[in-house]
Amino acid sequence: MLDIKWIRNHPDRVSEAARSKGVQDFSVEQLLHVDLQRRNLRQRVDELRAERNVLSAQIGLLISQKQLQEAESLKEHVRQCNAALNDYEAGLEDQEAQFEAMMLKVPNLVSAGTPNGKSDADNVVMKVVGTPTMFAFEPKDHVQLGEELDLIDIPRGVKVAGSRNYYLKGMGLYLHRAVQQLALDLLTDQGFTVMDVPLMVREETLVNAAFFPGGKDQTYELVDENKWLVGTSEGPLISYYANEVVDLSKGPIRLAGVSNCFRKEAGSAGRDVRGLYRVHQFAKVEQVIICQNDEAFAEQMLEEITQHAERILELLELPYRIVSVCTGDIGAKNYKQYDIETWMPSRQNYGETHSSSSLLDFQARRSGIRYQREGGGLHYCYTLNNTAVASPRILIPLLENHQQSDGSIYIPLALRPYMRGMSSIPCQ
């Protein structure tokens, strides 16, 4: 959420952000019109309340002086004032509701360094690490590898739970949990507080974290409970400090959430239908930073959390690249965003496996997260987030890049302590 006072002074920048991000159901002109209406109504309500208070005091004085006829005359004025006040208060309530709904649709601004573009095809490659894996044999995709090694069972997942569902079995499950534990250990060593978070949250949690209202079509609702299943632990991690004043005197707050995640994948019919790339249930280790209100420092934090994700990919011995996400592909709530894409041989291309975002004070303003600045008053914090690892999507490059000619899967050195010491997953 942006500051309405700032929006009043910079409507063109807000309008441009909405246009470049493709936000269709928002008009800054309509927002400012409703804002003016509610301020005028509020002023009239305050005037009527003040007038009523003066009249009430005068009535009391007249009654004490036994001037009952004059008091009765003023009572009629009070009744008229109350009637008008009821009408104005009802109008104000309606305008306030419209204003609040519109404010939730205001997109965040985009950084000066964000490239212009309309889709992910316009994202700009910033860095490439490693080279695409070459094979001296005909490689298999992760589905075939998973079936042959009895790691993955998609048909039974579909039988039990419908499309885009799966079972992980044996060493497939170990691999799934190993990458998560590797990420948690790395982040713990970097000063993060690791947390297991609620998976069923109140609607306000996802509103505060700026996933709603725009993301409802991607989120599973628990009907009649006013709760939703999370698509990432980012929401619960941000709301952990909702409406609190946090202590940043010792540096930024670093949180790492591990959770199952659920996503409808609405609008993805026909896309990535084979395998584990786009599924309804998955697991993530998410980084969240809450820091001081300073853009240069936030930029440092964005680089830091991105480097943590890079380090995990390096430990997994996988080739990857970093792209700067363009205006047409960046999330509505994000100020700046990098995606990390890992080489997936079956796609003959890089596929997104991680994302890093800086939001400035957009989330904290919605969530009411503030800090005491030295020598100054309370200020809204800045927040950032990054996918440290998401599985089973990360299993795609792990299995495909590390397959060997005999059908086995090489296990990177960093994962072996979590894989019962195994150096490979042998063929059946």
Binding residues: 232, 263-265, 279-282, 286, 352-355, 385
Specify whether 177 is catalytic.
no
Backbone angles phi, psi at 167, to 5 degrees: -115, 140
- Bridge partners, 265 (sequence order): none
Burial of residue 246, with CB atoms counted within 10 A of its CB: 0-12 exposed, 13-18 middle, 19 or more buried: middle
Q: Is 352 a catalytic residue?
A: yes
Does the annotation count 355 as an active-site position?
Answer: yes
Residue ranges with strand state E in 213-319: 221-222, 227-229, 245-246, 253-262, 281-291
Annotated binding residues for ATP, written as ranges, equal 263-265, 279-282, 352-355
User: For residues 4-43, b (16+ Cβ closer than 10 Å) or e, as one string?
Assistant: eeebeebeeebbebbebbebeebebeebbebbebbeebee
The CB density around residue 287, as the number of other CB atoms within 10 Å, is 28
Distance of alpha carbon 17 from alpha carbon 23, whole angstroms: 8
Other Cβ atoms within 10 Å of 53 Cβ, number: 12
Give the active site residue among 42, 278, 321, 347.
Answer: 278
Reduce the DSSP state of residue 357 to 3 states and report it.
strand
Tell me how far apart the alpha carbons of residues 318 and 363 are, in angstroms, rounded to a whole number: 33
Tokens 């601004």 belong to 109
Q: Which is catalytic among the residues 38, 263, 365, 370? A: 263
19 is catalytic: no
Taking each helix axis from N to C end, the angle separating 28-64 and 11-21, rounded to the nearest 10 degrees, works out to 130
Please list, in sequence order, all residues whose beta carbon lies within 8 angstroms of the beta carbon of residue 339, skipping any fewer than 6 positions away: 123, 322, 323, 325, 352, 354, 355, 356
HSE (CB half, 13 Å, CA atoms) of 168? 19
The tokens 């519109």 sit on which residue? 102
**Of 111, 259, 324, 355, which is the active-site residue?**
355
Q: What six digits make up the tokens of 394?
A: 């990360």
Exactly one of 38, 365, 366, 393 is catalytic; which is it? Answer: 393
Interatomic CA distance for residues 351 and 132, integer angstroms: 12
- Spatial CA neighbour of 54 closest among 77, 36, 37: 77
Active-site residue numbers?
263, 278, 352, 355, 393
